[in-house]
Amino acid sequence: MVQGTASHVGKSILVSALCRIFKQDGYSVAPFKAQNMSNNSHVTPDGKEIGRAQSIQAEAAGIESRVEMNPILLKPETDDSSQVVVMGKPLTSAKALDYFALKNQLWDAVCSSLDILRNEYDIVVIEGAGSPAEINLKENEIVNMRVALYSNSPVLLCGDIDRGGVFASLVGTLELLNAEEKNTIQGFIINKFRGDKSLLDDGLSWLEERTGIPVAGVINHYNDIHIPEEDSVGLEVLSSKSIENELDIVVIQLPHIANFDDFDPLAREQGVNLRYVSNIEELSEPDLIILPGSKTTISDLLWMEQQGLADCIKRLYSKGTPIIGICAGYQMLGKKLYDPSGIESDIKELEGLGLLPITTVFEHTKATKRIKAIITSDHGLLGGALSIPISGYEIHMGRTSGDIFAQPFKIQSQQEDDQTTVFSFDGAINENGDVLGTYIHGLFHNIKLRQSVLSHIAQLKNLSIVFSNERQDLDQEYDKLAEWVRTSIDMDLIYKMTGLEKIHNTQ
């Protein structure tokens, strides 16, 4: 198990690395996180919803994601309430105190899921959440030490030296654990180090002498390995100014932004400057504006209006800036949003941006499915993309319709008998082709579509853009990550913790 001294210290990435390392060494391995709090989610092959981080970790392990890898997913809706997704399906929306009342039911789901994975795989790499030393939460926690003790898992405690105070964080965490909990911790990881490691020698020796626990590794900070971020705090680094000879693409950083890894492939294209902005001063005059997914469409649209972003986006559109909306962003682009049953908020009706001739009605049923589609449009942002096959997934509450509008994505799906193919249509594109909306997440992970959209924007700016012939292959990134971590930690110590031996190294 990997636990941390705080959130965003690198637990998710370390679990991904260990999953890939164990896979390379010949073991079957699966990730697990009992409870995840994130609006960055993903759809399993059977249409269940789990945290995106566990989906990424499953890819690193070379297996399909499944709901047992993340039985409890909390999707924040307001500052004090979240949608509670249990075994891949929404159960309720709850405030903290109401959530604690569900603990026994949720713990049963945690235990049964973990038992299933441990029975099917050689190794399960478990991720904790936040810190195990949150005194106010310990009585009701079902994700950190309670999981470690249930599964009798050795724990690596990870600290982020880039934040400062890493030794105090590691020792302080230990001091707030009881004796049984302390005994689970069998190694420290110091993450995100920059500089000469020899400068740490005295500190590492002191730490081991002070605690009696070995330092399993010091992992250097990296910049050239591209693994999707789990937390929106990771977007803070993507706010640089636009560069004259690059395509300047802006994603509106909504308060409840969801599935922001949709845009990672854009950031990795040469000649593209991707920025996340939250005010009109940062917005400037980009070459493309993207409205991303959100857990709470109505409140985030109201926030955009309060920030002046809604009017600014419409003004930029009138001057020729193209706009793409994904999921909630698609809903915002329409004329009206209706919430008669109070699914999202107490607001029953709200004006949209009015850039697409569509309306959205929020319903209790949540759509979660993987999709394959064909592009049926051939103008504007989709010029040259006709008949390109794409894949992605949908996660949304809401039904969108319109009187007369072009739907550019023809979705192919199988009936339950798995023999009958049915077709449906998704999305909307306006007559000029400069406003595009869709429910499909993962749109820009489709290479031909991504490059077609970027080529269109480059033409509008009179720029030439050269695309790499290399596929942006996450599998290669997992191998790079595994090598980076493998050379930084004591894998012999890690294997000693597991009670297993290295079978072979395929690298």
Domain CATH code at residue 61: 3.40.50.300
**CA distance linking residue 22 with residue 40, whole number of Å:** 26
* Residue that has been written with the tokens 């493998």 in this structure: 486
Structure token pair of residue 339: 């919430």
Number of domains in the chain: 2
462: left (phi over 0), alpha (psi -120 to 50) or beta: left
Residue type, 303: W
Burial 246-280 (b: 16+ CB within 10 A, else e): bbbbbbbbbbbbbbbbbbbbbbebeebbbbbbbee
Query: Does 401 fall in a domain?
Result: yes
What pLDDT shows up at residue 429?
95
Answer yes or no: do 305 and 421 share one domain. Answer: yes
For 148-189, the DSSP string reads HHHHT--EEEEEEGGGS-HHHHHHHHHHTS-HHHHHHEEEEE
**CA distance linking residue 332 with residue 356, whole number of Å:** 9
| Residues forming the active site | 327, 441
Higher pLDDT, 282 or 475: 282
Answer yes or no: do 319 and 244 share one domain. Answer: yes
| Predicted confidence (pLDDT) at residue 244 exceeds the cutoff of 70 | no
CB contact at 8 A, 216 and 235 = no
CB contact at 8 A, 353 and 310 = yes
For the segment 121-136, what is each residue's pLDDT rounded down to a tens digit? 999 999 999 999 998 8
What pLDDT shows up at residue 415?
57
Burial 405-417 (b: 16+ CB within 10 A, else e): bbbbbbbeeeeee
What pLDDT shows up at residue 471?
52
Answer yes or no: do 304 and 402 share one domain. Answer: yes
Answer yes or no: do 175 and 276 share one domain. Answer: no
Answer yes or no: do 14 and 159 share one domain. Answer: yes
Measured in whole angstroms, how far is the alpha carbon of residue 410 from the centre of its chain?
A: 26
Q: How many helices (H) and strands (E) does the chain have?
A: 16, 26
For the entire predicted model, the pTM comes to: 0.84
For the segment 3-51, what is each residue's pLDDT rounded down to a tens digit? 999 999 999 999 999 999 999 999 999 999 999 998 888 999 999 999 9
For the segment 178-192, what is each residue's pLDDT rounded down to a tens digit? 999 999 999 999 999
Query: What average pLDDT is seen over the chain?
Result: 90
Answer yes or no: do 317 and 421 share one domain. Answer: yes
Residue closest to 270 by CA, chosen among 452, 464, 473: 464
What pLDDT shows up at residue 507?
47
**Which residue range is the domain that position 328 belongs to?**
232-460
